[in-house]
Amino acid sequence: MGTPLEYAPAPESRGVVHLQSSYGLFVDGEFVDPVDGGGFKTLNPADEEVLTEVAEAGPADVERAVAAARKAYVRTWSKLSGRDRGKYLFRIARLIQERSRELAVLETLDNGKPIRESRDVDVPLAAAHFFYHAGWADKLSHAGYGSDPQPLGVAGQVIPWNFPLLMLAWKVAPALATGNTVVLKPAETTPLTALLFAEICQQADLPPGVVNILTGAGATGAALVAHPGVDKVAFTGSTEVGRSIARATAGTSKKVTLELGGKAANIVFDDAPVDEAVEGIVNGIFFNQGHVCCAGSRLLVQESVADDVVTKLQRRIATLRVGDPMDKNTDVGAINSAEQLDRIRAFADVGDDEGARRWTAPGRLPERGYWFPPTVFTGVQQAHRIAREEIFGPVLSVLTFRTPTEAIAKANNTPYGLSAGVWTDKGSRILWAAQRLRAGVVWANTFNRFDPASPFGGYKESGWGREGGRHGLEAYLDV
């Protein structure tokens, strides 16, 4: 069994981040106190240190932010040419690049993800989304939605804690490029990069009210999506909350996109290059501690190679470095919150009770903070809850299959349909499988690849609509 290599610690400096003792809401271009004065603390999940306190927006703040967004929409943003909107988006993209270290450090402190991921994935992709959509702003008449597609108005956007800045970029960039204004609510446990983004909007001289950021909890999100002044709702998060948003917006003229949960099958055929597949499986489920809606959380491996794949997988997982997210050597960071840790532990206990075999990566976890070791369950049956429900943590369920047809049937046997992976040596088998998998994205001999030009979204309970690419523009246009 492998063991982690010895490395000298390589901590990233947090000196680049200057945290204030408290933050207000960002409304109409300024930081303001909430009307009722409430607030909550945000923690570093790696050591439970209180980072700062942020304001909690109540209904009166939602009212104020939606009014500011409406005013900005009517008076400035909808009147600008696409070319001018594009200039602001390019400016924001460049500022994200300029302040990338600060954003990466802040994301890692607030979320618990490894600095290597926030630095190399989250922040560059967030900038890429702004660059990509900046390019669309003056070309919307060539997007296939008519010669003069119009924006919808005010977008109310609610995002989760797993990719705070990146989900913000997925929401804000297409909204602004298409001429809409925004009120965005970040997740309760990860508000800090959204607040730094508000500063970036000020730095970019974005007209006041075009972007408004309301920190708060679920109630703030619920008030925002229900507000009659919101024309478009965009949500990423759990299927349960997605359902409540669908109910709250049913019968209204609001256009809604929902990006919800997943339980992706990562299928390894017997002709797959095993070492590469193992890297892909590890990336599929342990990237971002498995807090990924499209995580490859169900490994479907052909029976004839299952023992070999699982042995090599466990050997590889044993070399992952779990610990201080600010250390540049770290592969797996902290679980985002105590609640999420409880949920993962409960699911793992269910796996034990259902009769699956639990294997846990060796090694000690830090004493403070929220931690869960990389875990693999073998002997998992389709009926098991750990094969059906989204765990949203570093827990892989391994199932086997004998024929390609059985693999597809098992992969599609889920209420979700966000993503899937296929590992095989044969191009024809990739195409055969991709045509049959009911998933919004199918990765072949790779996993968890994202690009702003590529639409992303789900079938069935994984959501409605697409984000990214030309298709993603439609969600923000009156077509």
Distance in Å, CB of 21 to ligand NDP, minimum: 21
Residues that bind ligand NDP (CB under 6 A): 158-162, 185, 187-188, 217-218, 221-222, 225, 236-238, 241, 244-245, 260-261, 293, 340, 343, 390, 392
- Is 63 a residue of the active site? no
Give 243 or 402: the residue with its C-beta nearer to ligand NDP. Answer: 243
Angle between helices 404-412 and 427-436 (to 10 degrees): 40
Q: Which residue is nearest to ligand NDP (CB)?
A: 221
Cβ-based nearer residue to ligand NDP, 261 or 369: 261
DSSP assignment of 228-288:
TT--EEEEES-HHHHHHHHHHHTTSS-EEEEE-----EEEE-TTS-HHHHHHHHHHHHHGG
All residues at 6 or more sequence positions from 84 whose CB lies less than 8 Å from its CB, including other chains: none
CB of 462 to ligand NDP, least distance (A): 8
Considering beta carbons, is residue 218 or 273 the nearer one to ligand NDP?
Answer: 218
Distance of alpha carbon 377 from its chain centroid, rounded?
Answer: 24
Residue 408 phi, psi (nearest 5): -65, -40
Pairwise CA distance, residues 321 & 397, whole Å:
21
Residue 404, phi then psi, degrees to nearest 5 = -55, -40
Q: 91: Cβ–Cβ under 8 A, 6 or more apart, which residues? A: 204, 205
Least Å distance, CB 266 to ligand NDP, is 17
- What is the crossing angle of helices 303-317 and 274-286, to 10°? 60
**Nearest residue to 264 via CA among 391, 424, 404, 426:** 391
- The residue among 187 and 477 lying less far from ligand NDP, judged by its C-beta, is 187
Smallest distance from ligand NDP to CB 276, Å: 27
Q: Determine the residue type at 433.
A: A
Pick the closer one to ligand NDP by CB: 149 or 186: 186
Q: Which residue has the tokens 């996993």?
A: 447
Residue 10's identity, in one-letter code, is A
**For this structure, is 293 an active site residue?**
yes
Q: Hey, how many other C-beta atoms are within 10 angstroms of the C-beta on 25?
A: 27
Which of 107, 201, 293, 389 is an active site residue? 293
Pick 2 or 229: Cβ nearer ligand NDP: 229
Which one, 269 or 347, has the nearer CB to ligand NDP? 347
Q: Please say which residue, 159 or 473, places its beta carbon nearer to ligand NDP.
A: 159
**Least distance (Å) between residue 329 CB and ligand NDP:** 27
How would you classify the pairing of strands 255-259 and 463-464?
A: antiparallel
- Ordered alpha helix ranges (H), 137-185: 164-177
DSSP codes of every residue in 416-464: --SEEEEE-S-HHHHHHHHHH---SEEEES--S---TTS-B--SGGGEE
Q: In terms of DSSP bridges, do strands 463-464 and 395-401 run parallel, antiparallel, or are they unpaired?
A: unpaired
Among residues 14 and 345, whose Cβ is nearest to ligand NDP? 345
Which residues have CB under 8 Å from 377's CB, separation 6+? 348, 351, 356, 357, 358, 359, 386, 395, 396, 397, 398
Cα–Cα–Cα angle for 225, 229, 234, rounded to 5 degrees: 35
From the list 259, 389, 467, 474, the catalytic residue is: 259
3-state secondary structure of 49: strand
Residues annotated as catalytic are 259, 293
